[in-house]
Amino acid sequence: MPECITCGEPTKFDGGLCYKCYKKENKSKDVAEEEKPISKTKKTKADHSKKVKKPKENPWVSGVIKGRIAETIVEELFRSLGFQVFSYGMENSIPGITDLLRGVTGDVEKNIRQMPDFVVFKDNMAHFIEVKYRANGKLKLSDIEKYGDYPFKNALFVLITKKHIKCISYAELKEGKEITEKDHKYLGKRNEFDTDSALIIEYCNYAVKFFESV
């Protein structure tokens, strides 16, 4: 009869182990595997994955980027609608003025900071356009008059949201009106513009594409 190569007890196979020795050997292997130290490379990677954190979003930088995207969408929309579009904000009209205004106060400083983003021309008509982006789809007078009374009384505010492009005048804001998430103050309904609904919808889709994940 075949014998266990370890203890000599009877077994089923030549050169094999009996059941008792087989269990003992495999138990020793399991213990050895459990007690085996993790290699430095693996440990380092594991520790690294735990320690690495996503960088925190800088709200100021994020806001600037979103604002620039919104301005670009509105600028290209008005060009597509046949308007001449001219950048008018303080950095475009007076390059470098932002740094100079640090610490400066007074009516002139406030007026410069509140300069609209664009002037648009069509059919011998000109309009001041201020572009805003709001994820919540809301715009009210207090959002505009952070620095005091708004000096551009005939300005129009184009609001980019995650779903729509809306518009309201400064005069309407002064009357107590505002843009809400569920109202219908769409840019395509403004009497000031001979607008193309299909084009506006196209640019709304661009806005959705850029802002849906932010």
Could you report the per-residue pLDDT of 35-49, keeping only the tens digit for each?
555 555 555 555 555
Three-state DSSP class for residue 130: strand
Residue 118 DSSP SS3: strand
The average pLDDT across 206-212 equals 84
CB-based contacts of 10, cutoff 8 Å, min separation 6? 1, 2, 3, 4, 18
pLDDT in tens, 122-162: 988 999 999 999 989 999 999 998 877 898 999 999 999 88
CA distance 122 to 193: 9
Higher per-residue confidence, 103 vs 177: 177
Other CB atoms closer than 10 Å to residue 192's CB: what's the count?
Answer: 14
pLDDT confidence of 173, banded at 50, 70, 90?
very high
Instruction: Tell me the CA end-to-end span of the chain in Å, nearest whole number.
Output: 76
pLDDT band for position 89 (50/70/90)? confident
Cα–Cα distance list, 186 to 153, 183, 190, 201 (Å):
20, 8, 7, 10
Q: What's the pTM?
A: 0.66
Mean pLDDT of all residues in 97-110: 63
- At 193, give phi and psi (nearest 5°): -120, 140
pLDDT at residue 1 above 50? Answer: no
The number of C-alpha atoms within 13 Å of 164 and in the hemisphere containing its C-beta is 18
- List phi, psi (to 5°) of 99: -65, -40
